[in-house]
Amino acid sequence: MSYEIRADYEQGHLLPRSVEEWVGQDHPARFVREYVDALDLEGLGFKMRRSKAGRPNYAADLLLKVWVYGYLTRTRSTRRLEAACRETMGLIWLTGDNAPDHNSLWRFWRDNKEALRGIFRTTVKVAQESGLIGLTLHALDGTKIAARVSRRGSWHEEDFKEVLAEFERGVEESEVLEKHRYRLPAQMREPGRLKERIGEALKVIKQAQVKHYHPREPEARMMKMTEGTKFGYNAQAVSDGDSGLIVAQDVTQQASDNAEMVGMIKKVEETLGSAAAETVADGGYNDGEQLAKAEGAKYGVVVGAGSNEKKPVGRYDKRRFRYDAERDVCVCPLGQELLYERTRKARRNLPELRIYRCRNRDCPARGECSSDRRGRGIEVGPYDAAVARQRAKREGAGRELLKKRGEIVERVFGWIKEGMGFRRWSVYGICGVRVQWSLLCATVNLVKLYAAWAVGRLKLAAV
């Protein structure tokens, strides 16, 4: 009969094991303790207790260790962290067999939001000082993450205006409620003051300058995501091509990425001291103003083709016309000069445009080039030159760099969403989601730093 190992519940120990023996020498909990102990928590802005009076509280470093270890192990709920502090050996060891309750953990989060965001920056600095980050190639991208609320209970400007229009036609409130029962939020379906409540809601929507609004999450915006159109936020990240570490991150309310490139590269520069030699991004960042600003700041960027550039280039496409700034003329593919005609004033969110027109009525390609009786007109904006230079770079030396973009930065989003199981924000408001995103990005970096620490490649001095 073979021997089977079973639990001996009567077995005793001559001497109890010391706390230091509860986890192995290369356990992640040891790395978290060493990392947090090396931080200047007061310098980072964490609130430190000064008074000795009153009930003893949990120290800031202990609570921070719980949060960091929780994110490393996909435990991000305060109640689950409270339970883990009693059941998970890594946290039992890390807290010294203390068990902070969920209220203490939540208050620590609430009172130290800006300081918690600073943890990400420390991970980047430690990696840089350890020689783990390169400044050759960085990749920038964004991903939409759903807000904590669903579409139920949301306000839509178009629906409300349609209801008000029916009131103006003299339709009774009961008929309006019956017709729009499933398009109105539940709190507005009750009879009485419907017109007044919708009027008040429209004022709120107008003040927020949006078309879709959720009263429980007023800072979230409707965005197209893989799972459909939902309320959410746009999370941005810059990843290092050498190590895969995240070197900059942020969250924006804007669904489009086209105004984010220069700001994200500036964050890299602020943290690392300089930007990478080249930063690659997809076509969502292809914006003339941003390209011009990047050139002005001496940032090397390679951006994918925008949606308007993916169309086939015809023989007389605008992209085949060349603007000669010295002579202030446009030159067509046949060498004909288009002379300055007038300037179109700047419109909302659009720059001022200079219009150049062909005056050659005897041009053999006049009918093929344009159907305008006045002759072909070309609009030249202040950023067209930067766009043209970027196009040439993308089709030349930047082509190979763009191919590396996906494997550098998109795998980071895949790791966060699949590996960490993070698909929806669990906090409200832009301030809260920025804290959460910074901790998620810090976790990605800490996993890589832990791997280097475990093999002796990383030594943690005071951060």
| pLDDT tens track for 112-135 | 999 999 999 999 999 999 999 999
Q: Give the pTM.
A: 0.89
Averaged pLDDT for residues 338-342? 90
- State the chain's mean pLDDT as an integer: 90
Averaged pLDDT for residues 293-301? 95
pLDDT tens for 161-214 read: 888 888 888 788 788 777 777 778 877 777 777 888 888 899 999 999 999 999
Residues 116 and 70: their CA atoms lie apart, in Å, by 14
Q: Are the C-beta atoms of 137 and 241 separated by less than 8 Å?
A: yes
Q: What are phi and psi of 55, to 5 degrees?
A: -70, 135
Residues 217 and 214: their CA atoms lie apart, in Å, by 5
Annotate 87-156 with DSSP letters as a single string: H-HHHHHHTTS----HHHHHHHHHHTHHHHHHHHHHHHHHHHHTT---SSEEEEEEEEEE-SS-STT-EE
Averaged pLDDT for residues 340-345? 88
**Cα–Cα distance list, 437 to 237, 252, 270 (Å):** 10, 11, 19
How far is it between the farthest Cα atoms of the chain? Answer: 107
Residue 245, both tokens: 């570490």
pLDDT of residue 162: 86
Residue 352, both tokens: 């001022």
Question: For 4-18, 30-44, 259-273, 403-417, which range has the lowest pLDDT when averaged over its residues?
Answer: 4-18
Bridging pattern class, strands 221-225 and 322-324:
unpaired
**Cα–Cα distance list, 214 to 149, 230, 232 (Å):** 8, 11, 11
pLDDT tens for 27-63 read: 999 999 999 999 999 999 998 876 566 677 899 999 9
Question: For 212-216, 297-301, 315-319, which range has the lowest pLDDT when averaged over its residues?
Answer: 315-319
Quickly count: other Cβ atoms within 10 Å of residue 78's Cβ.
Answer: 22
pLDDT of residue 14: 76
Band of pLDDT at residue 148, cut at 50, 70 and 90: very high
Bridging pattern class, strands 329-331 and 337-344:
antiparallel
- Tell me the angle at which helices 60-72 and 28-37 cross, rounded to the nearest 10 degrees: 140
Q: Percentage of the chain with pLDDT > 70?
A: 97
Cβ neighbors of 326 (< 8 A, separation 6 or more) are none
Residue 164, both tokens: 């008000």
pLDDT of residue 461: 66
pLDDT of residue 4: 86
pLDDT of residue 426: 94
